[in-house]
């Protein structure tokens, strides 16, 4: 098996190749994310920038990377914090440039304090500069300063890059198709999150508060080696299930209501994103089951539409059609399915897209349309499939459906022959869910 550092180096080589294919090569510069203060001396838990992580695997803050596609060949350069015995006593280990160069497969490494001195040298006489623009404001200023510094050297005979290209255009396309290493990590993330949803079903009981269920999820994430949640967990009971990005997680769970949980861990940088909905008391009521079975039918139909060669948009259309027909059958919408789709009356109950790309970011990098045409699915893409139905109290809605909110979400890898559901182990049918809830 390849060393992980070789894998990152191959990704950097792919970026270098695409820089050369565009023209005369150039310089790529990427910073990692800054540390962010929570209050006074406390920082938010640190997470490297996803693009930087994708290309380096280097975990520390205060780092940047330079790739030179020059006439004398390629150079992979890392800037990072120096070793510092005093700071390491307080805050923990730092690689320092020498060890970082070896371990992360760079040709050269320098202290981050040398960035200002080195960059004008790297940027001189480069036709193009590839860097993220608008990602971090201090970095944008640094890039402007760098270009000015090189221009100031004009009398020494050097020229500054004539164009600045947002490197994310290339990286987004690379990140859209996952390699085997990424897929392995995403399988693990999916498995851990799947276990957390099962644990929530097994333990939840009437009288608990939503935050107690959130604690069960987090317990399962962390005890299995996940580093964090991929996004704040949504634990939404009763009417809260109809709030798409519900955050408070502080309501008491009432027997007979539904609980919608949208939660996934981040495992070694990679997100998972699962939603399940189950009855607080362990048994669906008739109207709850009707809506649940409809959302499940639409989710299964969507999964069938995820295969290579299909358009990303296809499964969104499938979700709308199955749900619209279901709303007619349940007496929630009137007219033919084409009329309901055309007049948009189904949007009273289903108002979001059926999924998104998934990877290092929960709403991952990658275009959904290319020149106005839906992206074609190819093996290695990972996406979520997550139709739902949210029925708020309203005059045109039978009361037995009020506050029924259901979403079912899985993480799906496009394969050569169809798809692989990375979160298939999560209870999903009515029978599976009710069985998981039995105590
Ligand atoms: N959890 C965020 C989403 O489902 O898109
Ligand atoms: Mn999602
Ligand atoms: Mn989700």
Task: Give tens-digit pLDDT for 307-334.
Answer: 999 999 999 999 999 999 999 999 999 9
Q: What is the radius of gyration, based on Cα positions, of the chain?
A: 25
Nearest to 216 by CA among 229, 244, 403: 229
Q: Is 371 left (phi over 0), alpha (psi -120 to 50) or beta?
A: left
Cα 363 to averaged position of ligand 2 atoms, centre (Å): 7
> Average of pLDDT values for 60-74?
96
Let me know if 304 is a catalytic residue: no
The DSSP secondary-structure symbol of 45 reads P
CA–CA dist 107, 101 (Å, integer): 7
**Predicted confidence (pLDDT) at residue 283 exceeds the cutoff of 50:** yes
**Predicted confidence (pLDDT) at residue 1 exceeds the cutoff of 80:** no
CA–CA dist 132, 29 (Å, integer): 8
Q: What is the pLDDT of residues 166-202, one digit of tens each?
A: 999 999 999 999 999 999 999 999 999 999 999 999 9
Nearest CA to ligand 1 atom 4: 273
Q: Is 220 in the pocket of ligand 1 (CB under 6 A)?
A: no
Reported for 325-333, long-range contacts at CB under 8 A and 24+ positions apart, including other chains, are 326/294, 326/297, 326/298, 326/389, 329/294, 330/290, 330/291, 330/294, 330/401, 331/398, 332/391, 332/397, 332/398, 332/401
pLDDT of residue 439: 65
Residues 368, 371, 375, 376, Cα dihedral to 10° = 180
Cα 112 to averaged position of ligand 1 atoms, centre (Å): 36
> Average of pLDDT values for 114-136?
95
Let me know if 338 is a catalytic residue: no
Q: Which runs of consecutive H residues, i.e. helices, occur in 244-336?
A: 286-304, 314-329
* CA-230 nearest atom, ligand 1: 1
CB 147 within 8 A of CB 123: yes
> Average of pLDDT values for 274-281?
97
Which residue in 386, 410, 411, 419 is the catalytic one? Answer: 386
Written as six digits, the tokens of 196 are: 């957390």
CB 425 within 8 A of CB 194: yes
If you average pLDDT over every residue of the chain, what do you get? 96
The number of the ligand nearest the C-alpha atom of 232 reads 1
pLDDT band for 129, please (50, 70, 90 cuts). Answer: very high
The number of the ligand nearest the C-alpha atom of 383 reads 2
Q: Is 361 in the pocket of ligand 1 (CB under 6 A)?
A: no
Which residue in 409, 410, 411, 419 is the catalytic one? Answer: 409
pLDDT band for 154, please (50, 70, 90 cuts). Answer: confident
Cα 385 to averaged position of ligand 2 atoms, centre (Å): 7
In 183-264, the DSSP E strands lie at 228-229, 234-237, 258-263
Let me know if 316 is a catalytic residue: no
* CA-273 nearest atom, ligand 1: 1
Let me know if 273 is a catalytic residue: yes
> Average of pLDDT values for 377-384?
98
Cα 73 to averaged position of ligand 1 atoms, centre (Å): 43
Nearest to 262 by CA among 368, 357, 381, 388: 388
**Percentage of the chain exceeding pLDDT 70:** 99
Written as six digits, the tokens of 191 are: 């498995």
Q: Is 231 in the pocket of ligand 1 (CB under 6 A)?
A: yes
pTM of the model: 0.96
pLDDT band for 2, please (50, 70, 90 cuts). Answer: low
Q: Is 262 in the pocket of ligand 1 (CB under 6 A)?
A: yes
Mutational pocket test of ligand 1: of 355, 384, 405, 408, the residue with most ligand atoms within 8 Å of the beta carbon:
384
Reported for 113-118, long-range contacts at CB under 8 A and 24+ positions apart, including other chains, are 113/82, 114/79, 115/64, 115/79, 118/66, 118/77, 118/79
pLDDT band for 4, please (50, 70, 90 cuts). Answer: confident
Which residue in 12, 251, 356, 419 is the catalytic one? Answer: 356
pLDDT of residue 243: 97
Cα 395 to averaged position of ligand 1 atoms, centre (Å): 29
pLDDT of residue 102: 96
Q: Is 362 in the pocket of ligand 1 (CB under 6 A)?
A: yes
| Structural domains in the chain plus CATH codes | 4-174 (3.40.350.10), 177-436 (3.90.230.10)
**Predicted confidence (pLDDT) at residue 408 exceeds the cutoff of 80:** yes
Residues around ion ligand 2, judged by CB within 5 A, are 273, 384
pLDDT band for 155, please (50, 70, 90 cuts). Answer: confident
CA–CA dist 352, 406 (Å, integer): 13
Cα 435 to averaged position of ligand 3 atoms, centre (Å): 23
């Amino acid at each position: 098996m390849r060393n992980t550092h070789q894998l990152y180096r191959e990704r950097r080589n792919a970026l270098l190749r695409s820089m050369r294919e565009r023209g005369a090569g150039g310089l790529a510069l990427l910073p990692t994310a800054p540390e962010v203060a929570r209050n006074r001396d406390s920082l938010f838990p640190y997470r490297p920038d996803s693009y930087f992580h994708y290309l380096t695997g280097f975990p520390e803050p205060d780092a940047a990377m330079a790739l030179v596609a020059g006439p004398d060949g390629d150079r992979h350069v890392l800037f990072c914090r120096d070793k510092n015995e005093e700071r390491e006593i307080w805050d923990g280990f730092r690689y320092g440039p020498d060890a970082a160069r070896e371990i992360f497969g760079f040709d050269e490494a320098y202290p981050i304090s040398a960035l200002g001195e080195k960059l004008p040298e790297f940027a001189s006489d480069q036709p193009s500069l590839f860097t993220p623009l608008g990602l971090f404001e201090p970095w944008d200023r640094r890039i402007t300063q760098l270009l000015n510094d090189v221009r100031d050297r004009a009398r020494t005979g050097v020229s500054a890059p004539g164009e600045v290209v947002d490197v994310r255009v290339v990286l987004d396309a690379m990140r859209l198709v996952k390699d085997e290493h990424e897929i392995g990590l995403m399988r693990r993330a999916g498995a851990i999150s799947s276990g957390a949803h099962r644990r929530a079903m097994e333990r939840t009981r009437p009288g608990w508060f939503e935050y107690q269920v959130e604690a069960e999820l987090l317990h399962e994430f962390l005890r299995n080696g996940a580093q964090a949640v991929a996004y704040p967990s949504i634990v939404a009971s009763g009417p809260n299930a109809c709030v798409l990005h519900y955050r408070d997680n502080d309501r008491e769970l009432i027997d007979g209501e539904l609980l919608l949980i949208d939660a996934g861990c981040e495992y070694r940088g990679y997100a998972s994103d699962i939603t399940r909905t189950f009855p607080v008391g362990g048994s669906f009521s008739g109207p709850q089951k009707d809506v649940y079975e409809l959302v499940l039918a639409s989710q299964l139909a969507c999964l069938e539409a995820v295969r290579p060669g299909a358009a990303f948009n296809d499964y969104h259309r499938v979700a709308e059609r199955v749900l619209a027909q279901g709303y007619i059958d349940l007496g929630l919408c009137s007219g033919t399915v084409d009329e309901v789709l055309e007049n948009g009356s189904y949007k009273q109950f289903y108002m979001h897209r059926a999924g998104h790309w998934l990877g290092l970011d929960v709403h991952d990098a990658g275009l959904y349309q290319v020149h106005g045409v839906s992206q074609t699915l190819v093996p290695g893409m990972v996406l979520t499939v997550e139709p739902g139905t949210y029925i708020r109290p309203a005059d045109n809605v039978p009361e037995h459906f009020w506050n029924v909110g259901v979403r079912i979400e899985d993480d799906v890898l496009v394969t050569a022959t169809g798809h692989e559901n990375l979160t298939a182990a999560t209870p999903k049918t009515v029978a599976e869910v009710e069985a998981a809830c039995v105590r």
